Structure 1
Amino acid sequence: MTKLPVAAGLALALVAGSAFAADLPHYKGPPLPPPPPMFSWTGLYGGVNIGGAFGNADNQWTRENIHSALGTPIFSGVAWQRQTNLTGVTGGGQVGYNYQFNRWLVVGLEADIQAANIQSNTSGWGPGGTVSAFPIPGPVFSSAYAGAGTVNSYVDWWGTVRGRVGFTPLMPNLMFYATGGFAYGQVNTNFNYGSTRGVSGAVFGFFPYNITSGAFGRGTFDNIKYGWTVGGGFEYAPLMFPNWSFKLEYDYVDLGSTTISTFGLGQTALTVVPFGTTTAPFFNSATTRVQNRFHVARVGINYRLNLFSAPAPVLAKY
């Protein structure tokens, strides 16, 4: 009989304890901090860059011809080749947009405009063939001649519109990319050339003579040229400053070739003792062709706006 009251007392104590515990205040722990958003290259960006250009060691060729002296046709000519290397400093700005398709693939479009001091200066000369002139009685007067010229080429500014395909195989904030597309630039080429000759002798062995000739010409091209570019590089965004990124890039730029053909005028003087001096026009023409292509290595910095990047994940609250 004593067990029943003890069991009843224990049950009453448990019910009372539960009711007392239910009346105690409830404390909720602090919510877990949201995970940091995943790094993404998606978004608009803009920045600046600076670098150097170096030449492609192209052959620049020049052909020069003598046309006539006192109406006598002349079929001689002189030609030479020299290597051109467009070198100098370049710098400017770029804007673009990237879209990150997945963890490792980024596709974008970039346009840039560059100020430049890129130039190449070459000179050359060559011996010519036999020039016949002044068909007066006696032996035909003939002499060899030489031609020479200088070509100065400049790229005053240039720019590109390029696609970019990037990969992030190592870290999400380190992107290796290939790039290529349309290129354009202001090309200025100046061409100066001349031909000279001189010969002396005696007509029939009795009358000393002397022939001197010279003709000079100049041609200029100053206009926008169009072409293409291809290159690649890498871009890195520090996680402490994820909106900033630094890049190192190489580009090959080909703006086509420039061909200048021009005409020069000079004079031939024939002096025969004791008959005096006779002069006549001395004409020449020349054509030169220069390649406008160069390599560029540059460093740059970008600020990414992330206007259209994906938002960070939101944690539901319960």
Structure 2
Amino acid sequence: MKIRYLIAASAAALTAASSAQAADVVANQEPAPVVAAPAFSWTGFYAGAQIGGSWSDTDLHGKYRTSATNFGGRQGFSPDPSGFIGGIYAGYNYDLGNNIVIGADTDWVWGDMDESDKHSVTYNDGQTGSFQGKLKEQWAGSTRARIGYAVDRWMPYIAGGVAYAKVDSSYRMKDSAGKVVPGFSASDSDTLVGWTIGAGFDYAMTDHIILRAEYRYTDFGDEDYSKNNVKYNVDYKTNDFRVGVAYKF
């Protein structure tokens, strides 16, 4: 009988000791370390492609010779080319810290946008005819400085710099049959240079793929042209909205 009590007491003591030891192991276990994902860095080169739409605000003012010494005839037009644009862009960002990112960006877009404006007129000799002003943008580009405020993978920014565009223009007098009057036509193909400013945002979808959306206003200034019996001036401004995707190296 005593042996039976002794065995039962020993088993109870052993069970209690094992439970206490297991509790100590649980209580003293170190928490697993938390591994934080590294913060995204905007610093680096990037290059990509973009598409969008462009609409312009153009004044084309012309005058023509009414005598040997006088350009007394005047006609003004507003041919406003608009349409689809597409091209490439590239640049470099540098993260200054405290969420501030600066950079440089250059781009080129092709649009082949053209528009003409025509006015019917009655000449001094009673003949009818028309004047036509036409403008065509072949391509445009810019080189800009950027500054942005990064919030993790989002970066709204503003940008500004120099812009340039290849623009064809013409100013013509036509007779009642629609034919150009000899000596009363002028045209030119010129690279206009001006300034541009815009705002947008970049979003780093991955560490290497960056999406972009942007609005831009550009003033290419004005240029004077002259040929034969015609003189005219082109004042060319554009508004663009663009989206793009770039690869960050």
CA distance in 1: counterparts of 2:166 and 2:71, whole angstroms: 36
1:126-165 deviation per Cα after TM superposition (whole angstroms, max 9, x unaligned): 4455xxxxxxxxxxxxx45666321221111111110001
CA distance in 2: counterparts of 1:257 and 1:177, whole angstroms: 29
Contact 1:195 1:215 in 2 (8 A): no
CA distance in 1: counterparts of 2:230 and 2:175, whole angstroms: 10
Q: Residues 76, 178 of structure 1: CA spacing in aligned structure 2 closer, same or farther, 3 A cutoff?
A: closer
Quote the sequence identity (%). 25
For residues 138-157 of structure 1, the aligned pairs below 5 Å read 143=125, 148-157=130-139
| More displaced 10-residue stretch of structure 1: 151-160 or 77-86 | 77-86
CA distance in 2: counterparts of 1:298 and 1:32, whole angstroms: 44
Task: Give secondary structure in 2 for the equivalent of 1:233.
Answer: strand
The size of the alignment, in residue pairs, is 217
CA distance in 1: counterparts of 2:220 and 2:190, whole angstroms: 11
- Name which of 104, 111, 116 aligns with 1:121: 116
TM-score when scaled to structure 2? Answer: 0.77
Structure 1 runs not aligned, ≥5 long? 1-27, 69-73, 130-142, 197-213, 264-284, 306-318
Q: Which residue of 1 aligns with 2:85?
A: 90
For residues 264-275 of structure 1, the aligned pairs below 5 Å read none
- Name which of 240, 245, 248 aligns with 1:301: 245
CA distance in 2: counterparts of 1:76 and 1:82, whole angstroms: 17
Task: Give secondary structure in 2 for the equivalent of 1:50.
Answer: strand
Q: Which residue of 1 aligns with 2:163?
A: 183
In the alignment, structure 1 residue 252 sits paired with structure 2 residue 224: no
The alignment yields a C-alpha RMSD, in angstroms, of: 2.6
TM-score when scaled to structure 1? Answer: 0.61
What is the deviation of 1:105?
1.0
1:251-282 deviation per Cα after TM superposition (whole angstroms, max 9, x unaligned): 1122222322222xxxxxxxxxxxxxxxxxxx
In the alignment, structure 1 residue 228 sits paired with structure 2 residue 195: yes
Contact 1:79 1:126 in 2 (8 A): no
Task: Give secondary structure in 2 for the equivalent of 1:84.
Answer: coil
- Name which of 157, 162, 165 aligns with 2:144: 162
Contact 2:186 2:230 in 1 (8 A): no
